[in-house]
Amino acid sequence: MHVCTGARDVLIGALYHPPQPLYQTTELLNHIEDCVDAVELTFPGALITLAGDFNTLPEDDVIARTALTSIVDQPTRGVNKLDRIYVSEPSYTSVKVVASTGKSDHKAVIAYTGPPLKTVNKSRTQLTFRRRSPNQHALSLSHLSRRDIMFDTNNDIQKNFDGFCQMLLDMLDRFHPQRTITVTSTDPDFITPTIK
């Protein structure tokens, strides 16, 4: 798409590269390179933006062939950065990856210039977890090895079992205390309570 903003030309291209294409990836890269060269020849000084779902198309190959810059630096599907935006020059002050409003497992990418945007419908979830470290494991095992575990033979099996479970839970709380962390809907999928 060609847009003339008065001061300059802006050319926007959209691309979908399927996960299992019927063509050779090098053919697509050659075509992208030829198109960018043709645009630069026809519209010198134009702002070029190429965006879309690139799936497994190597980002480094696109950059090397077109001299465009990738501006998306967060995963857009799981831990993969499949949806990307390439530009010929720095033209956006902010790039946000947000949950899609449609039925998609891909996140939406918003690139814009202007004041920072606030995320609407940002949800927060509090999660409880127990931090685990080798030092904590060593301390709990050391404590357990020095502890005599005795059962009262006058008690029934259930009462002894309940007492044993309570002792283990007390140890767990002592050496691996529960912590609460807040995770938001804008955090990447790979952010776990332990990482955060």
Do 95 and 72 form a contact (C-beta atoms < 8 A)?
yes
Does 68 share its domain with 138? no
In this predicted structure, the answer to whether residue 190 has a pLDDT above a threshold of 70 is no
| % of the chain at pLDDT higher than 90 | 27
Q: Please report the sign of the dihedral spanned by the C-alpha atoms of residue 118, residue 119, residue 121, residue 125.
A: negative
Q: Which pair of tokens denotes residue 109?
A: 């990418």
Q: Give the residue among 66, 112, 65, 61 at the shortest CA–CA distance from 88.
A: 66
Within a domain: residue 185? Answer: no
Mean pLDDT, range 122-149, rounded to an integer:
83
Looking at the structure, tell me whether residues 43 and 138 fall in a common domain. Answer: no
Tokens of 43: 């519209």
Residue 183 lies in a domain: no
Residues 86 and 164 in one domain: no
Other beta carbons within 10 angstroms of residue 2's beta carbon come to 11
Whole-angstrom Cα distance, residue 44 to residue 54? 26
At 24-60, the pLDDT tens digits run: 999 999 999 999 999 999 988 889 999 999 998 999 9
Percent helix, percent strand, percent coil in the chain, to nearest 5? 30, 25, 45
| Distance spanning both ends of the chain, measured CA to CA | 41
Mean pLDDT of the chain: 85
Neighbours of 123 (CB within 10 A): 10
Q: Kindly state the tokens that stand for 128.
A: 């409880």
Quote the tokens at residue 4: 């003339």
The token pair that represents 154 in the structure block: 């006058």
Average pLDDT over residues 134-141: 86
- pLDDT attached to residue 189: 65
- How many Å apart are CA 191 and CA 13, to the nearest integer? 32
Range of the domain at 104: 2-112
Handedness of CA 187, 181, 119, 99 (dihedral sign): positive
Residue 149 pLDDT = 81
Tell me if 188 is assigned to some domain: no
| 93 in the same domain as 139 | no
* Shared domain check, 93 and 166: no
Q: What is the pLDDT of residues 71-125, one digit of tens each?
A: 898 888 888 888 999 999 888 888 888 777 778 888 888 888 877 766 666 778 8
Residue ranges of the alpha helices (H) in the chain? 25-42, 59-66, 134-146, 157-175
pLDDT at 120: 65
What pLDDT, on a 0 to 100 scale, did the predictor assign at position 93?
85
| pLDDT score at 119 | 66
Question: Which amino acid, residue 164?
Answer: F
pLDDT at res. 18:
92
Q: Are residues 89 and 10 in the same domain?
A: yes
79 and 15 share one domain: yes
30 and 78 share a domain? Answer: yes
